[in-house]
Chains A and B, each alone.
Chain A
């Protein structure tokens, strides 16, 4: 037992072990694991179905709420008085269904123009995927603080495991968790009626996970980098509260940037969430995929991930030990 430690491993040794340590806290705890599956379902239901803005533009909303049969009849009378029988208007059959289909067509044009898809739910579903990725990674800063407070961090620092690995294992575990949850979100979205775009190919799902991987690595590195020195659990929580919602709403996740005010549009155009969400939308639900945009999305999010992860690792060399 007095032999020297003869195993001098690579710079990356311990990465999987430490990542798996974090993951075990999740998949070995039934309650937490179940909640992490239920949570996306709730968000999907609330954001995608309950707050269905798309319905405002759909034909059914016009017929049900505005176009009562009597109004339709009056409308037809008015048209007839001006010598324009309703039957002459394209698509206008002489009943309320006709009107409905016109408005429905109009609604689809609006949806297509602003949301790039006729299915508002599909638009939102992708937003929820981004939302899931953001909120799951936002917690990654907390575990660094816990490890510091409970002494595990000091123990890890006294072993030859590299400082970068300590931090990157946190990044990776948060990334795996959010990718898993995003996968669940996609499955649930399909069950709830996500409409794939005409250009969709099942292989693109790999692309979706690739961009999610990049954005999650970037985001969790960012949250860890911000809280790397803090010793109080309140700090990462405050940071989370401060950053997540602005990051969410100053992006195209829930709302198309084309109808944002200019200043917000500018902010959104720097927000990596915008690019990640755009890539997922292009790959999943758009009828025509603009590959050049997808390329830009990947490049932007990729650079974001590499830069922030590098900053995180550099900070870990400097600030993990005092």
Chain B
């Protein structure tokens, strides 16, 4: 088997002949890595996942999961993948355990085996003591963990996580990350996830693909992506009222200097080495440095660089979406 667990070539989805949700994307996911799709609402993340998990047929292009074609061998794909969808799909009228066993039945796992696995999985997601409670009574975090357990019942080679921490509070989010790391470490699982949380992509993913308007704009490890921006941001202010932009730009490693409101925003590689050099240069010319700060670029800056917009607005609309879904669930209960 190839080391490429997932391979997509020119994968495209057009809805209603006009709305291009995913536009000829190509990517490869290697064994054992956590691969993240980062992008705002409507960027095509969920559409991509849905094509890979065989519930949506691509309009064009092809993709394979563990060597199985997602169109021609879709049932083989379904057998070897686990899915943790964005929604809480567990049946509210059933108990936690019943839900896990229902999932097991959908994979055709014999009841005896399923029960053994359910015990392990409930322990893994720390729901053992709630297994006989109806899901209706579960909190958001518990539901998410239950979804995780359901997605693991067939011991998948690849696990797809669609916005695994959407709508969760900070503690639950961190706990979920830990479960995901455990899965990778203990079971050597390959994980494909989508997220719009920069922090999540940064701490969890081995590689991140930034997707916008259905296209992958850049792929790399979070570190590489940050480096690709041309290094760190140094902000300097001097007492004297003179423009020293030219002087600064001649310092080694400095890539770009911008004067904003009397301070200089300097893009430089190896900021921790370059910043003292700049100060020295300025001092030699008799200037007094009044202000200095050094920031390493975050994924937000990367995101900004490649998509031309901040993720913050998108994040807000996502939260609104999550709360709307919660309302719908209540309406049903």
A320 to nearest B CB, angstroms?
A: 9
Name the one of B55, B110, B152 contacting A158, with C-beta atoms under 8 angstroms.
Answer: B55
In the docked arrangement, what's the CA distance between A28 and B132, Å? 14
Question: B103: nearest residue on chain A (CB-CB)?
Answer: A159
In the docked arrangement, what's the CA distance between A1 and B189, Å? 9
Q: Which residues of B contact A152 (CB under 8 A)?
A: 89, 91
Hey, what's the 0/1 contact readout for A23-40 against B, CB within 8 Å counting as 1? Answer: 011001100000000000
Is B157 in contact with A322, judged by CB distance below 8 angstroms?
no
B240 to nearest A CB, angstroms?
A: 62
Q: Which residues of A contact B81 (CB under 8 A)?
A: 158
In the docked arrangement, what's the CA distance between A158 and B110, Å? 19
Which one of A9, A14, A159, A161 has the highest number of Cβ atoms from chain B below 10 Å of its Cβ? A159
Q: Is B93 close to A, CB under 8 A?
A: yes
Is B85 in contact with A154, judged by CB distance below 8 angstroms?
yes
A2-B56 contact in complex given A13-B105, A29-B93, A151-B87, C-beta closer than 8 Å: no
Q: Is A8 close to B, CB under 8 A?
A: yes
A-B contacts, CB under 8 A, total: 112
Q: Is B321 close to A, CB under 8 A?
A: no
Question: A13: nearest residue on chain B (CB-CB)?
Answer: B108
Is A150 in contact with B87, judged by CB distance below 8 angstroms?
yes
Q: Which residues of B contact A17 (CB under 8 A)?
A: 101-102, 105-106
Question: A146: nearest residue on chain B (CB-CB)?
Answer: B332
Band of interface residues on B: 35 or more
In the docked arrangement, what's the CA distance between A20 and B116, Å? 21
The main secondary structure of chain A at its interface with chain B is loop
B134 to nearest A CB, angstroms?
A: 9
Q: Is B188 close to A, CB under 8 A?
A: yes
In the docked arrangement, what's the CA distance between A92 and B91, Å? 69
Interchain Cβ contacts under 8 Å between A and B, 13 examples: A1-B187, A2-B187, A5-B80, A5-B155, A7-B107, A7-B110, A9-B108, A13-B106, A14-B106, A21-B102, A150-B329, A158-B78, A158-B83
A residues bordering B, Cβ < 8 Å?
Answer: 1-5, 7-10, 13-14, 16-18, 21, 24-25, 28-29, 146, 149-152, 154-161, 321-322
B residues bordering A, Cβ < 8 Å?
Answer: 50, 53-57, 75, 78-81, 83, 85-89, 91, 93-94, 98, 101-103, 105-110, 113, 150, 152, 154-157, 186-189, 328-329, 332
Which 5 pairs between the two chains have the least Cβ-Cβ distance? Answer: A9-B108, A151-B87, A17-B105, A13-B108, A159-B106
